[in-house]
Structure 1
């Protein structure tokens, strides 16, 4: 498994394209897919930018990618509200399990809950330090 990406890391990707034409998304996918970007959208953006000055010419495009990490902070009340909406679709027995599922999603997108790491909050729910409603 590849190592985790540093959110502040800057990555340069070089691609050769024909100006003004949308290249095959399949040729972009191996380069920018792992960076968390949509190859189709990037291909359209490149075509739009190269259309006026380099139409029909083969050009090398340098893409500079930075900060693919979502960042944000939400309150525990918001997490509980989300869990209430999601509970019918959740596999958890009770609401606290659904809340922990939502906190897991917070971990994966990189946002904090009330300024804390969501993993710490999950641990506190397990230990009973943080009270969550049953329904």
Structure 2
């Protein structure tokens, strides 16, 4: 009766209640051990909804795979706002620094098609456009052009670990 359970849990704040408890209850795993392991692995996401897959065996052993939250959720969490702009080209809800952009890019890098932090930052900047978030006080589209021109290579130029 081995199986897999997929749930969304708040980073570092999983508990034996729903949605985890009812899913894990009928399985042979120690629910508290699973919750503790999930909280350890998701602590860096601090309350942001994180996709988690729990694979378990009949023996009670389990394996946890933590996904990466959506880019928009990471941006909202980093900048501290709830919803994006209804008119993202006209009304802006927040401004992101290059350092914050790099932080989100590095968190999201394993899930993106980008090979390095610079490429990931460009993808994150694209999400900023649709949320109505400026970067360093300017439209995210023109900021992406400045990344392409190499203006932020000193901050974003680090290569991803292969």
Q: TM-score range by the shorter chain?
A: 0.3 to 0.5
Between Structure 1 and Structure 2, whose CA radius of gyration is higher? 1
**TM score, norm. by length of structure 1:** 0.47
Task: State the structure with bigger RCO (CA 8 A, min sep 6), 1 or 2.
Answer: 1
State the TM-score, normalized to the length of structure 2: 0.40
